[in-house]
């Protein structure tokens, strides 16, 4: 099953390199929103709380604009049934999850680098908390986005439905990552963020386990 | 080829309140072929999708036994080759790349020699490295045959087998059917007389529906 899952991932990865369905949308979104944030802040002194919040706003909406493509593009191209004829639902789910993980990790790395470069007030004092938050947050985003993308791929109004459906599901994750990022900016000790990390790990584990069980029903008729 | 036994018992499919078909019963073994026919909207494609495990019936049971071991629906794809107008290949990849991805997603080792044979057979070998988006609809249909035969399936399901094909393409497809028939299970969903004559048994969904309606009237 691991080999089949990686095969689905490589198929999506190669497809993305050729079509640039998600990458273009994501990069353009990141550059646009960061520019808007930069212009709106101007020379003002903004508190770390607000900067942490804005970072995750950029990440959330970037994820919303790109991660749904994994299933939506299959539906739009009519290849969903082809995939159904090739592998068990779990193979497709984990292949897509892996692809979304790689995509969100890459885009988050880009967002953070640009954010650190263009917003001088954004200074990370405890990098271990910040990196762990980024990794666990990306994991949570990918695990939630993958199953929501599978659900909305069959709907008519995919574009609007995706962020609307994602928001309540991602709210606990977003609140936790914002708190953890604030701790990293305040220079808190790693141990102080353990509670946040527990929540983030539990969130991803519960979502992936639920998605694994439910995906059969979503994937079939 | 493994021994297969496919059995459909009392199959019914509804879409909302509309009954597409009801009480479909038949069974098939290696070396048998069946053609499912009926007017547009009679449920031919729906029935073959149910057989392939792509759709669930509203009522009834589909059983697939391979070497006398009953398979789960999730395993049907390992034994079924499926060609249909609604099956699509990945346009951004070449025919060769498509087959490579399909083999690996199936968990098979990609046999480039066998893929070459298949592409030669469906007359796509010379265009094997071109992106599928540059293919005509007939070429795409022929590629679907290579896709369906890649894992050497015991059951071959062909929905509208001649769709988009020219004379040469039809001859190729008929050769594939003739080769598969003696040992495998062949299921066709078609209205074409020539296709119907290739199969041992014909299931006419319209006739079944009419018979059911007459029975209902007699009961009333």
Interface touch A82/B87, C-beta < 8 Å: yes
Average pLDDT over residues A13-42: 85
Interface touch A10/B82, C-beta < 8 Å: no
Interface touch A221/B55, C-beta < 8 Å: yes
Residues of A in contact with B74 (CB under 8 A): 88-89, 216
Residues of B in contact with A83 (CB under 8 A): 105
B82 interface with A at CB cutoff 8 Å: yes
- pLDDT of B135 reads 93
CB B26 within 8 A of CB B8: yes
B54 interface with A at CB cutoff 8 Å: yes
Confidence (pTM): 0.87
Integer-rounded Cα radius of gyration of chain B: 18
- pLDDT of B217 reads 67
- pLDDT of B159 reads 92
> E strands, B44-122, where?
59-66, 69-70, 80-83
Structure confidence at residue A92 as a pLDDT band (50, 70, 90)? very high
Average pLDDT over residues B57-80: 89
The closest alpha carbon to B12, from B216, B215, B208, B188, belongs to B208
CB B21 within 8 A of CB B205: yes
Angle at the Cα of A17 from the Cα atoms of A12 and A19, rounded to 5 degrees: 85
Structure confidence at residue B136 as a pLDDT band (50, 70, 90)? very high
Q: To the nearest whole angstrom, how far is the Cα of B191 from the nearest Cα of chain A?
A: 23
Digit-coded pLDDT (tens) for A125-136: 888 999 999 999
Average pLDDT over residues A143-169: 82
Digit-coded pLDDT (tens) for B175-216: 999 888 888 899 999 988 888 888 888 888 887 777 777 776
Digit-coded pLDDT (tens) for A157-200: 666 777 788 888 889 999 999 999 999 988 888 899 999 999 99
CA atoms within 13 A on the CB side of A78: 7
Average pLDDT over residues B31-53: 90
B110 interface with A at CB cutoff 8 Å: no
Rounded Cα distance between A29 and B19, Å, is 47
Residue B137: how many other CB atoms lie within 10 Å: 11
Average pLDDT along chain A = 87
The ipTM value here is: 0.84
Interface touch B74/A86, C-beta < 8 Å: no
Query: Which residues neighbour A173 within 8 Å (Cβ) at sequence distance 6 or greater?
Result: A137, A140, A141, A144, A200, A203
Q: To the nearest whole angstrom, how far is the Cα of B55 from the nearest Cα of chain A?
A: 6
Rounded Cα distance between A96 and A211, Å, is 12
Interface touch A221/B54, C-beta < 8 Å: yes
């Amino acid at each position: 099953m691991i080999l089949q899952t990686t095969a689905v991932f490589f198929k999506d990865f190669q497809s993305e390199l050729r079509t640039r369905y998600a990458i273009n949308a994501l990069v353009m979104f990141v550059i646009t929103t960061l520019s808007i944030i930069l212009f709106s802040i101007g020379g003002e002194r903004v508190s770390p709380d607000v900067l942490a919040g804005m970072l995750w706003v950029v990440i959330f909406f970037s994820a919303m604009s790109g991660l749904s493509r994994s299933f939506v593009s299959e539906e739009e191209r009519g290849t969903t049934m082809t995939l159904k004829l090739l592998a068990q639902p779990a193979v497709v789910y984990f292949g897509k999850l892996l692809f979304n993980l790689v995509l969100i990790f890459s885009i988050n790395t880009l967002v953070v680098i640009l954010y650190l470069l263009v917003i001088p007030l954004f200074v990370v004092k405890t990098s271990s908390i910040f990196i762990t938050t980024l990794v666990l947050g990306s994991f949570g985003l990918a695990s939630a986005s993958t199953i929501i993308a599978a659900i909305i791929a069959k709907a008519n109004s995919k574009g609007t439905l995706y962020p609307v459906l994602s928001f309540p599901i991602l709210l606990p994750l977003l609140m936790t990552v914002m708190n953890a990022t604030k701790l990293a900016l305040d220079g808190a000790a790693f141990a102080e963020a353990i509670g946040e990390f527990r929540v983030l790990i539990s969130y991803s584990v519960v979502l992936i386990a639920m998605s694994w069980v439910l995906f059969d029903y979503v994937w079939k008729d | 080829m493994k021994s297969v036994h496919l059995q459909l018992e009392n199959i019914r499919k509804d879409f909302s309140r509309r009954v597409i078909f009801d009480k479909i019963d038949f069974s098939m073994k290696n070396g048998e072929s069946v053609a499912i026919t009926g007017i547009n909207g009679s449920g031919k494609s729906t029935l073959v999708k149910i057989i392939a495990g792509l759709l669930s019936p509203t009522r009834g049971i589909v059983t697939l036994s391979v070497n006398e071991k009953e398979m789960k629906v999730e395993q049907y794809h390992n034994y079924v080759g499926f060609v249909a107008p609604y099956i699509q290949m990945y346009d951004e990849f070449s025919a060769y790349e498509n087959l490579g991805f399909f083999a690996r997603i199936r968990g098979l080792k990609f046999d480039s020699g066998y893929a070459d044979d298949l592409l030669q057979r469906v007359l796509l070998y010379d265009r094997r490295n071109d992106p599928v988006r540059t293919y005509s609809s007939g070429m795409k249909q022929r590629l679907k045959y290579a896709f369906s035969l890649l894992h050497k399936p015991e059951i071959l399901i062909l929905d509208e087998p001649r769709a988009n094909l020219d004379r040469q393409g039809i001859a190729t497809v008929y050769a594939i059917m003739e080769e598969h028939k003696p040992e495998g299970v062949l299921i066709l969903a078609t209205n074409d007389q020539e296709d119907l004559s290739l199969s041992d048994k014909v299931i006419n969904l319209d006739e079944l529906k009419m018979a059911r309606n007459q029975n209902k009237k007699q009961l009333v």
